[in-house]
Chains A and B, each alone.
Chain A
Amino acid sequence: MPLINSPQDLRRVREETLQKRLLQNQASRIQIIVSMDTPAIAAGARETMQAILEFIEEEKLNHILVKKTGNLGFDSWKPIVQVVINSQSPVTYRKVSPTVARRIMEEHVVGGKVVQEHAIHF
């Protein structure tokens, strides 16, 4: 039997998911969103993702949620990484190689200082 059988079910599932997300957001103070589509992967987004996960592992950081998404800005900027701290407006970084990713993790995520030379200002 499928999960949703009527428009009311859809509304209920949406509410439940929203609640779940709110809890999740409270649990994880920091969200890191990595753009993972074909151009980003070709530019090395997998390695960047790997570097971020390794850093979290090594430093034993808690409350960090690493998510992937699709296209996130111009292809010539890829790999692109977004950092959201305490649900504030996101900071978007361009051309994030594994080395830059470690720097962002050290300076922004841990140290709280935006790495200006890679940030995109919309």
Chain B
Amino acid sequence: MKITRSMVLVSSDPLSLQRGSLEIYRRFQEKLESYQLAEEVALSTITDVGNTEASPVVVIYPEAVIYGPVQPENVDRLVSEHLYKGHIVEEMLVPKRHLPSRMAWLQSRKGSLPAQQRILLARVGKIDPENIEDYILHDGYQALAKALSKMTPQQVIEEISKSGLQGRGGAGFPTGRKWSFVASAPGNKRYVICNADESEPGTFKDRVLLESDPHAILEAMIIAGYAIHAQEGYIYIRGEYELSQKRFLKAIEQAHEYGFLGKNILGSNFDFEVHLHSGAGAYVCGEETALIESIEGKRGEPRSRPPYPTTHGLWGQPTLVNNVETLANVPPILLHGAEWYRRFGTPSSPGTKVFTILGNVNATGVIEAPMGITLREVINIYAQGMKNGAAFKLAQTGGSSGSLIPASLQDTPLDFDSPRKAGVSLGSGALLICDDNTCVVDLVKVLLRFFRFESCGKCTPCRIGTQRCYETIRAITEGGGQLSDLDGLLRLAEQMERLSNCGLGQTAAVPIRDMLKHFRTEVEAHIRLGICPTGICRMVPEDETAELIENQMV
């Protein structure tokens, strides 16, 4: 099986072509062949570097270095020094001031390649998840012992703050700050909740962590409890994750037996209990206030905020709600220190991120990559390229509530900061990769059908908005759309984004906005010409009931 080790991209925008980038491309082909590197180095062109004085530029992944201006006679040196020997040719790098901001970002990135940098998945695949001895052998519960015996709760929170850890559920809120809010909130009892209601379609990073390394999450919950002075914790695992629930219950049982849960943990006078709560299949219960309502035994509907759960959460007490992946970062940070953790990722988003890859690529599954990796690397190096050599069209991030990333933005680093600048969001870390046989209108229709079905119905903008958006887009796919619909859709999307009570309605608007921003021509082709450019939409009215029954959605 062929695995690409690195990737060379030669710029081919009009300016670069004028300055002879085709010749550079040809030279690279020759040289890679003569150094016998053609098998492991992928060569491709990049059209969207933006205008730079340094063109033509050559980008080499995974180091993400940008050389320029490159002359055809420099190619030999780049191949022999960088690709063959692995040294970066410092004097040929583009000075940062010559680069457009998007590319400059790339150069400030730290850390480079695959599997060597596993922090969260370090034990995944190495230990038996149902055996606590395996976990203890692989540094298990060492962070807890360190926290309980050598650190005060305040110091634990400071260490987490210093590490710059951000919430991995999608919003990217600084974890250390959240912990200190809860620790300083007035109340007689405090709670830790681990949000494992991973209901975003296509996201399964939490399942991998819970099934392959449940003790790590348990350890992190105990540490969080110690830091915020809580005595009780809940983990809310979605109902479909039977195996996760089984393994987590077993972990709780073993932890009791070994004395990591219960009274006077490790002789430190700190008591902690963890309860497992199973979800029942509602998407909205992944929203933290709806999740709290659900644990309290009520209907899973989001609360009005403020007050936030940090002051008025479970049973009206200060509550810390963290995602599984966020918590999984905690033991390594405490064990190795914040400085160590900051070595990974980008300055604004340190650490690594677990991504789930799915769609039209050769390898699907879960990967761990440093923050700031680009979509191009994910597709070509980790996922081993597009299936059947098709062209990459768009990626959809973060389950259904993320945004659409068109091919022109595939060199944007994936961290919490830079996608936001480019107007896309990272979401929960699912990457649905679509090739050019995907119709974007059809994709958005499917997403909106999901939102319409999952809207809890508490607030009007979301309940009515998702329904109306779905109807309009469905009309477009059935040949009944009008150009005025598009403005209506944008208006509706904006209203949903501003007025909805919780994240569900707010993010339902994102795919619509992105579709009209990046793929407007394709949408207009449906309306103006009455055809679907990819041939996916049938352009005739369809009976929806049969489809719904087939998908078991009624």
A76 and B128 in contact (CB under 8 A), knowing A7-B266, A17-B137? Answer: no
* Structural contact, A38 and B257, CB atoms closer than 8 A: no
The distance in angstroms between the C-alpha atoms of A9 and B144, with both chains bound, is: 13
A-chain residues with CB within 8 Å of residue B127 when the two chains form the complex: 69-70
Q: When A5-B266, A69-B212 are in contact, do A13 and B126 touch as well, CB less than 8 Å?
A: no
A27 to B322, CA, bound (A): 43
In the complex the two chains form, what is the Cα distance from A71 to B368 in whole Å? 12
Q: Which A residues, 1 to 37, have Cβ-Cβ distances below 8 Å to chain B?
A: 2-7, 9-10, 13-14, 17-18, 20-21, 35, 37
Identify which of B51-59, B179-187, B299-307, B358-366 touches chain A.
B358-366
Find chain A residues with CB under 8 A from B258 CB.
2-4, 13
B266 touches A67 (CB 8 A): no
Interface residues of A in 69-122 (CB under 8 A from B): 69-77, 120-122
Alpha-carbon separation in the docked complex, A75 to B125 (Å)? 13
CA gap between A69 and B211 in the complex, in Å: 9
Tell me if A73 and B125 are in contact (CB < 8 A): yes
Which parts of B209-247 form the interface with A (CB within 8 Å)?
211-213, 241, 243-244
Q: Is the interface of A mostly helix, strand, loop or mixed?
A: mixed
A47 to B259, CA, bound (A): 36
Closest to A2 in B: B259
Set B115, B142, B208: member contacting A37, Cβ < 8 A: B208
Task: Please classify how large the interface on chain A is, using the bins under 10, 10 to 19, 20 to 34, 35 or more.
Answer: 20 to 34
Interfacial chain B residues near A69, Cβ < 8 Å: 125-129, 212
Cβ–Cβ contact B257 & A10, under 8 A: no
B462 touches A (CB below 8 Å):
no
Q: How far is the CB of B206 from chain A (nearest CB, A)?
A: 12
Q: From the candidates B125, B136, B259, B365, name the one contacting A70 in the complex (CB within 8 A).
A: B125
Indicate whether B422 reaches chain A with its CB closer than 8 angstroms: no
Return B94 CB to nearest CB of chain A, in Å: 33
A68, CB-defined interface residue at 8 Å: yes
Contact A76 B364 (CB under 8 A): yes
Q: What is the CA–CA distance of A41 and B211 in the complex, to the nearest angstrom?
A: 12
CB < 8 Å: which of A17, A75, A121 contacts B366?
Answer: A75
CA distance A61 to B419 in the complex (A): 55
B interface footprint on A33-69 (CB within 8 Å = 1, 0 otherwise): 0010111010000000000000000000000000111
Find B128's partner among A5, A38, A67, A75 (CB 8 Å cutoff).
A67
Report B330 CB to chain A, min CB distance, Å: 18
**Cβ 8 A contact of B212, one of A7, A9, A37:** A37
Which of B126, B256, B266 is packed against the most chain A CB atoms within 10 Å? B266
For residue B148, CB closer than 8 A to chain A, the reply is: yes
Nearest-neighbor residue (CB-CB) of B244 within chain A:
A38
B1 within 8 A of A: yes
Interface residues of A (CB under 8 A from B): 2-7, 9-10, 13-14, 17-18, 20-21, 35, 37-39, 41, 67-77, 120-122
Given A2-B257, A14-B137, 5 more A-B residue pairs with CB atoms under 8 Å apart are A2-B262, A3-B259, A5-B259, A69-B125, A71-B366
